[in-house]
Homo-oligomer: A and B are copies of this chain.
Amino acid sequence: MPDKVLIYSRLPKSLTQRFSADFDLLDTAGKPANEVFAAEELAQVRALITAGGTPLRAADMERLPALGAIICYGTGYDGVDLKAAAARNIVVGNSPGANASSVADVALMLLLATMRRLPIIDPYVRSGDWVAAKPSPLMKPPSGLSGRKVGVYGMGEIGRKIAARLAAFETDIGYFSRTRYDDLPYRYLPSLDALAEWCSVLMIAVRASAETHHAVDADLLKALGADGYVVNISRGSVIDQAALVAALTDHTIAGAGLDVFEIEPHAPDELTRLPNVVLTPHIGGNTRESHVAMQGCVVANLKAFFAGERLPFPVK
Contacts and interface: CB of A to CB of B under 8 A. Distances in A.
Interface in A194-233: none
Contacts of A116: 105-106, 109, 280, 283
The size class of the interface chain A forms with chain B is 35 or more
A272 B132 CA distance: 14
A289 B143 contact: yes
Nearest to A136: B281
Given A101-B170, A144-B287, A289-B146, A126 B279 contact: yes
A266 B124 CA distance: 12
A60 B282 CA distance: 54
B142 A288 contact: yes
Interface stretch (A86-94, A161-169, A174-182, A304-312): A161-169
Given A126-B272, A130-B281, A138-B283, 11 more contacts: A105-B116, A108-B112, A109-B116, A118-B118, A125-B280, A131-B265, A138-B286, A142-B286, A143-B287, A147-B289, A164-B168
6 contacts: A102-B144, A113-B118, A130-B281, A143-B288, A144-B287, A168-B168
